[in-house]
Chain A
Amino acid sequence: MSLIRGTGLRKTFGDFVAVDGIDVEVAAGESFGFLGPNGAGKTSTMRMIGATSPVSGGQLRVFGMDPATHAPAIKARLGVVPQTDALDEELRVRENLLVYGRYFGLSREQVRARTGPLLEFAQLTEKTDAVVESLSGGMKRRLTIARALINEPSLLLLDEPTTGLDPQARHVLWDRLFRLKRDGVTLVLTTHYMDEAEQLCDRLVVMDRGRIVAEGSPRSLIAQHASREVLELRFDAADHAERVADVAGIAERVEVLADRLLLYVHDGDGALETVAARGVHPLSALVRRASLEDVFLRLTGRSLVE
C-alpha cells in the first residue's frame, strides 16, 4: 500500500514555481529521500505532504486521504521533523514532550508513559529535567525527533535532519533513524548531503528546480549516471579546463570543477597510472568510489553543496 501518492504535484508562490509537476509514490516501510540543492523544491514538497501547505496543482493522497479536506486526520498519523527544531526552549525536556503530546489530544498519562522510552531512544534520559536551551545542537535534534514520535506515527517526515550537526552527532542521528526504519516506520527525508541519502534511503529522487531529474536506489542511480570510481586530479592551474587535453581518452567522461578535474573511470588506480605514464603530474590525486554527488553533477551540471 502506498502511504504517499502524488501526481503532477505543483506548488507555486505567485509567479514563482517551487514544485513543477512531480510524481511521487512512497510505499509503507520504505525509506525515501528527496535529494537536491537548496531551492530545489524539497521543503515545499514536504510541507504539502505534511498537509501544512495547500497543493497548487495536481493530486496528492497521504494515507489515502486528501490533505485539502483531511489535514487533521493526516497530521494525527504523521511525525514531522522540520528544518528548524522549533522546540520550546524555555521549557524542560519532559515538558516539551508533554506540551507537544497534548497537541495530538493525548492524555497526560499517555504522554508520561511514552516519555521514558522516547527519551531513552533519543539518548536523552539523563536530560529529562534539563531546560532545552542548555542542550547541544545534536541533542536538540534528537529531542525534536523524539517529540515527532510522541503520537507513534507510521510515517516520519524529516526535512534536512542533520544539517548543521557535527559529524559525530550526524552518525548518532543516523543510527537512531536506522532503528526506526528497522521497526517498520516509513521514513521520508530531504537532504542535500549525498552520504546521508546513501546511508538512509532505499529509494530516492533527485530534484532540481522543482522537477525530478532521476529516480532509483542510490546504487542504481550511481550505476546509471556515474562510473564505478572517480579519479580526482588537482593541478597548479588557474583554469582546470586547460588540463583536460592532458587526460584525453583516459576516462569515460571528464568533469571540470573550479579546483579539480573529475575523471569517471572503472578503475581509478589504473587510470592514475596511465596519467603518470603520460608524464602528467598533478599536485594531488585521489581515487574514490562514485557517489550521488557525481550523479547530481552529471544530471544538472552543478554541485549539490555550493
Chain B
Amino acid sequence: MSRADKQSPTARPGSPGEVALGGGSAVEDPEREVGPAPRPPGGGWRAVFGYWFAVYKRIWRSTVISSFLAPLLYLAGMGYGLGALIDSGDRTAVPGVPYVAFVATGLVAAQAMMTASAETTYNVFGAIKWLHTYDAMLVTPLRVVDLVRGHLVYVLMRLTLVAGVFVGVALALRAMDSALALVAVPAAVLGGLAFATPIYAFSATIDSEQGFNVLQRFIIMPLFLFSGTFFPLTQLPVGLQVFGWVSPLTHTVALTRALGLGPDSALWLEPWRFAVHVAYLALWAGVGYLLAVRALRRRMVV
C-alpha cells in the first residue's frame, strides 16, 4: 500500500488507507499537508455541460430550422417527391422497401452527422479563440478532460433530441414502421459521436476557421451523398464503395435502416453484423475522444 502510494503522490483523495498513512506520507510529500481537498475540487464535466445547456436554453429557437425542419424537408422532397418517381405501383427500387422508408431510415443517421459537425466546429473553435470560454473554465479547477467530456455530453443530448424527434415524426408519417425504430435513436447517436469526437479534435487543432469550409465541402457533403443515405452503396463503382465503407455514416445508416425497417425487411442484419457496425462506430468515437483531449490539451496548456 505504501509503495503504491509513493508511486502516485497525488493518490486519489478519499481512497481507503489514505488517512491511515498519516505522518509518513507527509514526509514523503511535503505538499500533502496543505494537499488535496477531501474530494477532487471542481464541478467536473457536469459543470461544463451546465454551461452549454444554459447557452442552448437561450438559443434553441435558432436551431429549430436546421435541426428539425431541414431533415423533414429532405424527407418530404426526396422521400415523397423523388420516391413517387422511383417507386411505381408495386415495384420498389429496393425490393420490399418504399423509397420514403429507405430515405427516412438513412436521413436520421445523416442528420446525426450534421448535428455532430455543427456542434463541434464553431462552438469549439469559438470557445477556444473568440469567446475565451475555455480560458475562463481552465482558471477554475476544471481540467481539460472535463471540458471535452462536458461538451460531448451536450452533443449527446443534442443528438438524442434531433434523432428522437426525427424518428417520432417518421413513425407518425409511417415512413418508419417498426417498434425497433426507437432503437435507431441510440444507433444514430452513436453514429453522431463517431463524427463528433474526431471533428472536435480537428477544431481544437486548426488555427483558422477556414478549415471548416474544407471539412464541410470535402468531408461532410460527400459523406452525406455517398454513405448510402439516398441510394444503396452497391450502386457505386467498387472504388467508391470502399470509400463509402470507411465512412462512419455508412455503418450508422446500416444500423438505423435495419432497426427502422424492422426484422422483416430485406435490409435486416445478422447479429454479428450489428456488432461489427457498432464496434466500428465505437472505435471512431473512442479514438476521436483521445485525439480530442490531446488536441485541446496542446492548445490550451501552453
Interface digits, B45-63 against A, CB 8 Å rule (1 contact, 0 not)? 0111011001100110000
Q: Which residues of the other chain, A, contact B302 by a CB distance below 8 angstroms? A: 13, 53
- Chain A residue at minimal CB-CB distance from B40: A72
In Å, the complex CA distance between A140 and B175 comes to 51
- B301–A54 CB distance below 8 A: yes
Q: Is A78 part of the contact surface with B, judged by Cβ < 8 Å? A: yes
- A86–B135 CB distance below 8 A: yes
In Å, the complex CA distance between A223 and B273 comes to 82
Q: Which residues of the other chain, B, contact A70 by a CB distance below 8 angstroms? A: 10, 31, 35-36
- A84–B132 CB distance below 8 A: yes
- A99–B139 CB distance below 8 A: no
Q: Is B263 part of the contact surface with A, judged by Cβ < 8 Å? A: no
In Å, the complex CA distance between A281 and B181 comes to 93
Interface digits, A181-219 against B, CB 8 Å rule (1 contact, 0 not)? 000000000000000000000000000000000000000
- Chain A residue at minimal CB-CB distance from B134: A86
A69-90 residues with Cβ-Cβ distance < 8 A to B are 69-73, 75-76, 78, 80, 82, 84, 86-90
- Chain B residue at minimal CB-CB distance from A105: B43
Min C-beta distance of B134 to chain A, whole Å: 9
- B58–A103 CB distance below 8 A: no
Q: Which residues of the other chain, B, contact A66 by a CB distance below 8 angstroms? A: 31
- B132–A73 CB distance below 8 A: no
Q: Which of A88, A89, A98 has the most CB of B within 10 A?
A: A88
- Chain B residue at minimal CB-CB distance from A144: B136
Min C-beta distance of B260 to chain A, whole Å: 36
Q: Is B188 part of the contact surface with A, judged by Cβ < 8 Å? A: no
- A72–B55 CB distance below 8 A: no
Q: Which residues of the other chain, A, contact B143 by a CB distance below 8 angstroms? A: 71-72
Min C-beta distance of B179 to chain A, whole Å: 39
Q: Is A302 part of the contact surface with B, judged by Cβ < 8 Å? A: no
- A65–B47 CB distance below 8 A: no
Q: Which residues of the other chain, B, contact A71 by a CB distance below 8 angstroms? A: 141, 143
B279-302 residues with Cβ-Cβ distance < 8 A to A are 301-302
- B41–A88 CB distance below 8 A: no
- B136–A105 CB distance below 8 A: no
Min C-beta distance of B223 to chain A, whole Å: 31
- Chain A residue at minimal CB-CB distance from B47: A102
Contact A103-B31, Cβ < 8 Å, known A86-B131, A88-B51: no
- B31–A105 CB distance below 8 A: no
- Chain A residue at minimal CB-CB distance from B139: A80
- A88–B9 CB distance below 8 A: no
CB within 8 A of B54: which of A13, A69, A86, A88? A88
Q: Is A91 part of the contact surface with B, judged by Cβ < 8 Å? A: yes
- B34–A65 CB distance below 8 A: yes
- A73–B41 CB distance below 8 A: yes
Q: Is A52 part of the contact surface with B, judged by Cβ < 8 Å? A: yes
Min C-beta distance of B254 to chain A, whole Å: 39
Q: Is A100 part of the contact surface with B, judged by Cβ < 8 Å? A: yes
- B141–A105 CB distance below 8 A: yes
Q: Is B37 part of the contact surface with A, judged by Cβ < 8 Å? A: yes
Q: Is A63 part of the contact surface with B, judged by Cβ < 8 Å? A: yes
Q: Which residues of the other chain, A, contact B137 by a CB distance below 8 angstroms? A: 103
In Å, the complex CA distance between A91 and B133 comes to 13
Q: Which residues of the other chain, A, contact B135 by a CB distance below 8 angstroms? A: 52, 82, 84, 86
Q: Which residues of the other chain, A, contact B140 by a CB distance below 8 angstroms? A: 75-76, 100, 103-104, 151
- A99–B9 CB distance below 8 A: no
A1-42 residues with Cβ-Cβ distance < 8 A to B are 13
Q: Is B44 part of the contact surface with A, judged by Cβ < 8 Å? A: yes
Q: Is B209 part of the contact surface with A, judged by Cβ < 8 Å? A: no
- B141–A103 CB distance below 8 A: yes
- A78–B139 CB distance below 8 A: yes
Min C-beta distance of B270 to chain A, whole Å: 46
- B42–A72 CB distance below 8 A: yes
Min C-beta distance of B125 to chain A, whole Å: 15
Min C-beta distance of A93 to chain B, whole Å: 13
Q: Which residues of the other chain, B, contact A63 by a CB distance below 8 angstroms? A: 34
- B41–A104 CB distance below 8 A: yes
- B47–A103 CB distance below 8 A: yes
In Å, the complex CA distance between A280 and B258 comes to 97
Q: Is A270 part of the contact surface with B, judged by Cβ < 8 Å? A: no
Min C-beta distance of A163 to chain B, whole Å: 15
- A103–B55 CB distance below 8 A: no
CB within 8 A of B43: which of A50, A84, A102? A102
Min C-beta distance of A239 to chain B, whole Å: 44
Q: Which residues of the other chain, A, contact B31 by a CB distance below 8 angstroms? A: 64-66, 69-70
List 20 contacting pairs A-B, 8 Å CB cutoff, sorted by A: A50-B139, A53-B302, A69-B9, A70-B35, A71-B141, A71-B143, A72-B42, A72-B141, A75-B140, A76-B37, A84-B132, A86-B132, A89-B131, A98-B54, A99-B54, A102-B46, A102-B51, A104-B42, A105-B44, A151-B140
Chain A residues in contact with chain B, CB under 8 A?
A: 13, 50, 52-54, 63-66, 69-73, 75-76, 78, 80, 82, 84, 86-91, 95, 98-100, 102-106, 151
Known pairs A54-B301, A71-B143 / 20 extra A-B pairs, C-beta < 8 Å: A50-B139, A64-B30, A70-B31, A72-B141, A72-B142, A76-B37, A76-B41, A76-B140, A80-B139, A86-B135, A86-B136, A88-B51, A91-B58, A99-B54, A100-B140, A103-B140, A104-B41, A104-B42, A105-B44, A105-B47
Chain B residues in contact with chain A, CB under 8 A?
A: 9-10, 30-31, 33-37, 39-44, 46-48, 50-51, 54-55, 58-59, 131-133, 135-143, 301-302
Closest 8 interchain pairs by CB?
Answer: A76-B41, A86-B132, A103-B140, A80-B139, A72-B141, A102-B47, A86-B136, A105-B43
